Copies of this chain bind each other. A is one copy, B any other.
């Protein structure tokens, strides 16, 4: 429960309608895209501008009330669940495109802007913003920045981090900082811009972002390569990169994913294939032609069963939609879907897929795997039922072993979804005790009273590493 004098102050800052502590608003903001995780906030606030955010933070700081800032809550690691109650700050009213600067190829936007709306807007101006998380129709730019979202174009174009060049952010005490700018180069002090990207709302509240835009590619082609041997598909990924071709998109779906996607989207995918690679190249028309033909040869060398190059943009979009709908399609199978994003060096994709399948078999759980094969970022996805505690427990054990396997293969516990609450117990596996200590020090430097999204990133207890019984 918030102190009444605080709620009155918050209402004065944003106006009566924009602070709510009724049950409906609280329940609606008690969860995010992560299954089996819920915690009620004490209130929900909707600021309209940076000055309000600053005043809100000043008030919450004085009262030592935690705050979780969020966009659409499509987070998959529990990053936007208000674990310790307090206030949820929803950024949806701050959703304007403040400027698109064609001379500097930058855009300045507010955090509540929907990613897909932004992409559509700049595309209509003949510009290109590459980060395209699968959630982009609902996710916000602010959420993408907080999580350092990736997407299907990450392999060639990088992730959100590579496009954020300036930020305005409010510190827990209410001070406003500005980092970077419309600058391709800036080494004035520590790089706070890149530090805030991916900081999961634990360091500051992002209130404005300057994003780098690039010229759009002139041409694009999309193809599918289908394999009866899953490891041949994974090897093909490595062969393409080794041949020094960096496709715009290089996605992987295993057989269980293919089947549910086809049930869902009715694409006539071949249901007997063990794996499909969805490959897209963009660039100048000549480069695209050349690369697609070279990729086709590599697929055939690796004994792809079928290679299909989309002849029209509509056909290409349909194939892309297949991949984009993988999560939604899998989510229809059973009541609970747990999607993870263990990531490995791209040369280890085949090993990782093998390990995931072994681990799933060992624990008797269903895990379908798809993801961004080109950058080693896989999404092993378990379909289960939250009501079956025993099965859910086995799924959890399986994911622990999957994280362990990713680390063993030189990878990481999360490539684009963030640590949040769900992966906090595993963070030390990746960054070590000294790494955790440094990160905690950074957290304390920004947020000495631990008010911003408390309970995330750092777990009370690190999970003991499991011993993987192979074979």
Contact = CB atoms under 8 A, between A and B. Distances in A.
Top 3 closest A-B pairs, CB basis? A441-B445, A215-B244, A185-B415
A446 interface: yes
A431 B184 contact: no
A183 B441 contact: no
A362 B150 CA distance: 50
A335 interface: no
Number of copies: 2
Interface of A: 101-106, 126-127, 147-148, 150, 154-155, 158-159, 161-162, 171, 175-179, 181-192, 194-195, 197-199, 203, 214-216, 238, 241-242, 244-246, 283-284, 286-287, 290, 343-347, 372, 375-377, 410-419, 423, 427, 430-432, 434-436, 438-446, 457
Contacts of A446: 438, 441
A442 B176 CA distance: 17
A105 B104 CA distance: 31
A411 B190 contact: no
B183 A415 contact: yes
B192 A104 contact: no
Given A181-B345, A195-B194, A431-B179, A415 B187 contact: yes
Given A102-B242, A183-B412, A187-B198, 9 more contacts: A103-B238, A104-B241, A148-B187, A150-B185, A176-B434, A183-B410, A187-B416, A187-B418, A190-B457
Contacts of A203: 190
A242 B197 CA distance: 27
A376 B101 CA distance: 15
Contact of A194 (B154, B161, B179, B215): B161
A191 B188 contact: no
A376 B104 CA distance: 10
B103 A414 contact: no
A432 B177 contact: yes
Contacts of A343: 183, 185-186
A192 to B, nearest CB: 7
16 contacts: A104-B241, A150-B185, A175-B434, A177-B434, A179-B431, A183-B375, A184-B375, A185-B375, A185-B412, A186-B343, A187-B414, A189-B427, A195-B195, A438-B445, A441-B442, A445-B445
A184 B126 contact: no
Contacts of A443: 190
Contact of A189 (B154, B162, B410, B435): B435
A181 B171 CA distance: 30
A189 B346 contact: no
B435 A178 contact: yes
B185 A104 contact: no
